[in-house]
Amino acid sequence: MKGRSILILIALFIFVSCKLKPAKQAAHTNPVRLSPASYSHKKTIVSVKIQDSSEYSPANETAIYYVVVTDTGTNYSELRDKMENIHQALNIAIDTMGRYYNKTKDLIALPDNDSDEIYAGAYYPRRSPTDFLSLEYLTFYKKGSPSNTIALIAGIYENKSSADSALNILKPSQRNAFAIKSSIYVGCMH
């Protein structure tokens, strides 16, 4: 019984000390109508089955998600313009999580003065299921990709059928769109 109490205290400590970076909206030089974020991320300490076919392993803190990518490239400005066009044409919300392209660092990054001192001025990836447009580094979702390849993400889904539905909506106008089955780290990043 004493061992169980210690495990509960450790789990509670981990839960309190690890938090996910909240989604923020960033200002663009070209105004974009952004829809408010309307999702919540549920983080679990104990082993549970997450909806449908997604898999979670507390041992390595990863989850299997399906990432829908509309296009890839190395030019941030071109992909940002494409993201804004998709937003206008298909009414898919944009969520930059407060990140922008830092030309000096050649990096998609949070502002240097971000409240998260650990990731201020650095890249912080989208890691939870969402149906927002955003610009991410492909290597976070597809291991072995060139580190400078940017992916225009249209969503991260817990199951293949949801990703396939999103692809069906995108394919008529976004012929390069595809989905990746990805093992995404969902543990504490602090």
Cβ-count burial of 190 within 10 angstroms (0-12 exposed, 13-18 middle, 19+ buried)?
exposed
Question: Between the CA atoms of 84, 168, 43 and 146, what dihedral angle is there, to the nearest 10 degrees?
Answer: -60
Window from 42-46, 127-131, 172-176 with minimum mean pLDDT = 42-46
pLDDT > 80? residue 169 = yes
Q: Which residues of 39-66 are buried (b: 16+ CB within 10 A; e: fewer)?
A: eeeeeeeeeeebeeebebeeeeebbbbb
Q: Say how many CA atoms lie within 13 Å of 28 toward its Cβ.
A: 17
Angle at the Cα of 111 from the Cα atoms of 106 and 116, rounded to 5 degrees: 125
Residue 153: name the closest of 141, 169, 171, 165 by CA.
141
φ/ψ of 73, rounded to 5, equals 175, -175
For the segment 47-101, what is each residue's pLDDT rounded down to a tens digit? 333 334 345 445 578 999 999 999 999 999 999 999 999 999 999 999 999 999 9
Q: What's the rounded Cα separation, in Å, for the pair 35 and 171?
A: 22
pLDDT tens-digit readout, 118-156:
999 999 999 999 999 999 999 999 999 999 999 999 999
Q: What mean pLDDT, rounded, does the chain reach? A: 79
Largest Cα–Cα separation, the chain = 60
Contacts of 180 by beta carbon, 8 Å cutoff, 6+ apart: 66, 67, 69, 141, 142
Residue 113: both structure tokens together:
């003065």
Q: What is the pLDDT of residue 189?
A: 78
